[in-house]
Chain A
């Protein structure tokens, strides 16, 4: 492990937080600016680059033909992977996915999956024989915190724009030809908070994550459902704090939905 950032940056973030301030001048409950660009990768069925402040994440989707699980012969599947590339931060390392990366991918996955926004029956090609498996992978290109929400936003947009490859008679993919789009019925989104210096703050930077006593992610849908939650890092939250974050997550995710609904 490399010491990528200095201890004094962390203690500065903590003392600022105690006064209700942040080093980039944001309010504790303020999100960073989000920008979206799409479909830069021609070999992907869909791809999205988003920036969240200085955090930059690239997500892409590949659809492959697989065999269904025996207990759900008429349903396809999705799989989400996450990588914090060593390209993106001095502290990120190459090699096998770290525990942090596995947690990141699984939390983003649960938020999407449990919303039932993707009907897996639409991914069936021939019952019991062939189904679509959607592999979505997202990569940090520049890491400045909150890969959870950046991963969730980029994954959602990527799935929503997923093109279904065309198949020949033998269920082989015809590259470059498409047959409709992947359907998503809802827009599940993750909203992530950390507790620094006893204060809850939204959308943490890299330094704020390092300074965090605890982290909390809430996945919500526009119809008012909670679809996944995850508490992370060593510290703790009171029930009042959890309730505050849940209410806040509904409000903040709705703002993002509004921004990205036409993407």
Chain B
């Protein structure tokens, strides 16, 4: 069977065995880069990304500062060996565009007006990829911002959605992205208000297909949101239990040292120019 002959309407399952509305396996861990104010490592199918947040800090170069709000600077990059054909080092046009739209999506979720004249640096690095790396980066970056204690209206949850082999499907992988009728749409929302903060599309869809795609995309984002919340809760509920002096089964040496690191990190924050902030992520 060649790729052209595949018809999801007949097969009922996808090339990798998923249902039409099923995400690839997704896992997130926060606090993986000790030097950063906040960080996250995310695996989503074959996609693997790191996100780190530095700031709010002095905006450099100085002319980039805004006297009314913090500037959110996102850098999306891929390591040279994250794609089948080696990627040349240094940003290309694709990296620049993705950095821009990711920054604009996150900007809307952050209370930037609380930190005038500063920048919030968000660095995302793709170390392995298979379609959907930008939404993977956005999901990771939003967790890293929450981990950094940056005040936000909400997390930003994202997924890919679209069409391949005759069906509307969630979270396209590379084989599906290469389908003759493929339409891939990265979408990101703030889950509580359902506001759409990122959407890109290329390829033809009927008006009716769009309705199904939009609905499926929203549902997919909500599934990602649950994983994001769980990742953040996992780090912070253990810390809380230790502060209260309660013994919980999970609190072994490993977790303790993590919590200690966090406290020293926070002390350093206070010394530096940036004001430390409390966690404001809605449960």
Contacts and interface: CB of A to CB of B under 8 A. Distances in A.
Interface of A: 2, 6, 40-45, 47, 54, 56, 58, 60-62, 64, 81, 83, 85-90, 94, 96-97, 135, 137, 139, 141-144, 175
Interface in B69-97: 75, 77, 79-86, 89-90
B52 A137 contact: no
Nearest to B79: A139
A2 B55 CA distance: 12
Contacts, number: 96
B223 interface: no
Interface stretch (B120-128, B152-160, B202-210): B120-128
Given A40-B48, A40-B127, A41-B127, A2 B60 contact: yes
Interface in B1-35: 33-35
Nearest to B90: A96
A44 B101 CA distance: 27
Q: Which of B35, B125, B271 has the most CB of A within 10 A?
A: B35
Interface residues of B, number: 34
A43 B33 contact: no
B84 A175 contact: yes
6 shortest interchain CB distances as A-B pairs: A60-B81, A44-B81, A62-B86, A87-B123, A87-B52, A41-B128
A94 B99 CA distance: 13
B5 to A, nearest CB: 21
Contacts of A6: 271
A2 B35 contact: no
Contacts of B85: 64
A85 B89 contact: no
Given A86-B75, A141-B50, A81 B128 contact: no
Contact of A137 (B33, B81, B123): B81
A6 B267 CA distance: 13
B77 to A, nearest CB: 8
Interface centre among B33, B58, B83, B121 (most CB of A within 10 A): B33
A141 B33 contact: yes
B36 interface: yes
Most buried by B among A40, A56, A141: A141
Given A86-B121, A86-B123, A41 B81 contact: yes
Given A6-B271, A43-B83, A64-B86, A142 B57 contact: no
7 contacts: A43-B128, A87-B50, A88-B33, A89-B35, A94-B75, A135-B81, A142-B36
Contacts of B89: 81, 83, 97, 137
Interface centre among A41, A137, A144, A175 (most CB of B within 10 A): A41
B115 interface: no
B183 to A, nearest CB: 24
Given A89-B35, A90-B54, A142-B33, A42 B80 contact: no
B46 A60 contact: no
B129 interface: yes
Nearest to A2: B60
Contacts of A56: 33
Contacts of B79: 41, 58, 60, 137, 139
Contacts of B60: 2
B35 A143 contact: yes
Nearest to B33: A142
A89 B34 CA distance: 9
A225 B153 CA distance: 60
Given A94-B123, A139-B125, A141-B33, 18 more contacts: A2-B57, A2-B58, A40-B48, A40-B127, A40-B128, A47-B127, A54-B34, A58-B127, A60-B82, A60-B127, A85-B125, A87-B50, A88-B35, A90-B35, A94-B75, A96-B90, A137-B89, A143-B35
Contacts of B83: 43
Contacts of B77: 85, 94
A83 B33 CA distance: 16
Given A141-B33, A142-B35, A62 B52 contact: no
Nearest to B86: A62
Interface in B174-188: none
A47 B58 CA distance: 36
A86 B76 CA distance: 11
Nearest to A81: B89
Contact of B123 (A45, A60, A85, A135): A85
Nearest to A89: B35
A137 B80 contact: yes
Contacts of A143: 35
Interface in B124-145: 124-125, 127-130
Contacts of B81: 41, 43-45, 47, 60-62, 135, 137
B249 to A, nearest CB: 25
A122 to B, nearest CB: 20
Contacts of B52: 87-88
B93 to A, nearest CB: 16
Contacts of A86: 54, 75, 121, 123
